[in-house]
Amino acid sequence: MPTFIYKAKKGLKETIEGIIEAESRDAAASILSNSGLVPISLELKSSPKKQQQQVSSPILGFKKLGLKELTIFTQQLRTLLRSKVELLSSLNVIYKQTDNPKLKTIILDVHNSVKDGGTFSEGLSKFPDFFPVIYINIIKAGEASGKLDESLSRLSEFLEKEQDLKMKIKTALAYPVMMVMVGVGTIFVLFSFVIPKLMVIFTDFQADLPLPTLVLLKISNVMNRGWPLIIIFLATLIFFARKKNFFASSRSIDLIKTRLPVLGELAHKQAIARFANTLALLLHSGVPIFQSLQIAIPTLENRIFIQQLEVVHKEVLSGATLASSLKKVAFIPPFIIHMITVGEEGGRLEEVLVEIASTYTSESEAILKIITSLLEPLVILCLGLVLGFIIMAMLLPIFQINMLVK
């Protein structure tokens, strides 16, 4: 029977090396996993120990890393670990088939960190912009329990839900956004290039021009002279708006988001769904309640909600129950507090949180459908009014000329 030299993680800090007999590499990895260990490397004792492939760090590319790349990475790693492939080999496989230079650099760094004796979670923590705090803590809990593949499965499901929600929002807004862009472009061309050429018609007009026509000509004159500056201004505004956390420091903007008639209700429901889903995921992974709250609260990305929930974290840390602490949070309805009370008393808090997340996610999607269904006619109406004003302003002087002739 073949003999393998193995290197595996036991808990977060301890690294174990030893010899194991098994029929194959997969069988050896399975034996180690069933013993509560996370296999890092397996080498045949009879053959000289292979040197890990040294790959030079690629130059960072311009491709942005986001939720999609993180989801794919998690799914691939979960599949490999479930197939009893050791951690280092799994990272090597993912590294070879990844096209994104920036992601290749991250995977290589994490691989080398684990190879040098560090934990997988420590390697991930070097890249907080790509691996969020919740991700690292769930991986850490999986390493401590020896069930890293299960932690990756939970993370994969969580990330898939997040990505699915973002995709639904993008899909719903795609058509209205395209209509707005086409409409704004058309109006810009009319004001900047078409209307100025028609101004010659009204230059020698003896009578006073109607007010709508004067307004139209003034706007056209400004845009005709200053359109390069307008384009530069809009490009600069879009650039800074797309920068991460550009508006995050503004508490007033967060407050406006929560008080808008329909969008405010959507923000409340999405915040509750995300908070419940994140907290359930952390608790199911074995993270203590006070630490789970500390990680879950910042994921809301709204300072108003975060500030209210920080009180909950402090009270739970001092020994209070989650339900009693949530009573002081304004945006948490009594229905949820009652459900959490029942969950805490019956030892089913994780299940109750999952039910809450599912319910409020469905309600958020329903509101989103209503918003998008109303957005399309609203965009058409606004563009129609603007174009109607332009046509009216152009035709009024002509009607006035006809009346003078008669």
How many domains are contained in the chain? 3
Same-domain check for residues 114 and 263: no
Render pLDDT for 271-302 as a digit per residue (tens, 0 to 9). Answer: 899 899 889 888 888 888 888 888 888 888 78
**In this structure, is the dihedral angle defined by the CA atoms of residues 250, 253, 258 and 264, taken in order, positive or negative?**
negative
- Residue 322 domain-assigned (yes or no): yes
Read off the pLDDT of each residue in 36-63 and give the average, rounded to a whole number.
Answer: 51
DSSP, collapsed to helix, strand or coil, labels residue 68 as helix
Between 252 and 325, residue with greater pLDDT: 325
Between 61 and 79, residue with greater pLDDT: 79
Neighbouring C-alpha atoms within 13 Å toward the C-beta of 79: 8
Same-domain check for residues 140 and 178: no
- Residue 140 domain-assigned (yes or no): yes
DSSP notation for 271-301 = HHHHHHHHHHHHHHTT--HHHHHHHHGGGG-
DSSP notation for 234-275 = HHHHHHHHHSTTTTTT-HHHHHHHHHSTTHHHHHHHHHHHHH
Confidence (pLDDT) at 266: 87
Between 199 and 354, residue with greater pLDDT: 354
Same-domain check for residues 143 and 227: no
Confidence (pLDDT) at 56: 40
- Residue 217 domain-assigned (yes or no): yes
Q: With CA atoms as reference, report the closest residue to 132 among 71, 64, 59.
A: 71
Between 4 and 182, residue with greater pLDDT: 182
Same-domain check for residues 20 and 89: no
Same-domain check for residues 107 and 153: yes
Cα–Cα distance for residue pair 247/241, rounded to 1 Å = 8
Read off the pLDDT of each residue in 133-141 and give the average, rounded to a whole number.
Answer: 86
Same-domain check for residues 263 and 155: no
The residue from 135, 160, 185 where one domain ends is 160
Range from 4-18, 265-279, 296-310, 384-398 carrying the lowest mean pLDDT:
4-18
Q: What's the mean per-residue pLDDT of the chain?
A: 80
Q: Is the pLDDT of residue 194 over 80?
A: no
Confidence (pLDDT) at 58: 40
Same-domain check for residues 300 and 326: yes
Confidence (pLDDT) at 51: 37
pTM of structure: 0.68
- Residue 51 domain-assigned (yes or no): no
Q: What is the CATH number of the domain that holds 345?
A: 1.20.81.30
Band (pLDDT 50/70/90 cuts) for residue 359 is: very high
- Residue 227 domain-assigned (yes or no): yes
Residue at 88: amino acid letter? L
The residue from 93, 128, 160 where one domain ends is 160
- Residue 62 domain-assigned (yes or no): no
The residue from 160, 182, 202 where one domain ends is 160
**In this structure, is the dihedral angle defined by the CA atoms of residues 187, 188, 194 and 198, taken in order, positive or negative?**
positive
Band (pLDDT 50/70/90 cuts) for residue 94 is: very high
- What single-letter DSSP state applies at residue 45? S
Same-domain check for residues 354 and 390: yes
Asked whether 159 and 71 are in contact (CB, 8 A), the reply is yes
Read off the pLDDT of each residue in 115-124 and give the average, rounded to a whole number.
Answer: 87
Confidence (pLDDT) at 254: 78
Band (pLDDT 50/70/90 cuts) for residue 406 is: low
Same-domain check for residues 140 and 194: no
Q: Cα-flanking dihedrals φ and ψ of residue 44, to 5°?
A: -65, 135
Q: Which helix (H) or strand (E) holds 19?
A: strand 14-21
Structure-token pair, residue 39: 């296999």
Asked whether 367 and 265 are in contact (CB, 8 A), the reply is yes
- Residue 58 domain-assigned (yes or no): no
Confidence (pLDDT) at 203: 62
Same-domain check for residues 193 and 323: yes
- Residue 52 domain-assigned (yes or no): no
Same-domain check for residues 210 and 148: no
Read off the pLDDT of each residue in 146-166 and give the average, rounded to a whole number.
Answer: 85
Same-domain check for residues 385 and 259: yes
Render pLDDT for 173-187 as a digit per residue (tens, 0 to 9). Answer: 888 888 888 888 888
Within 8 A by CB and 6+ apart from 382, the residues are: none
Q: Which domain holds residue 33?
A: 3-44
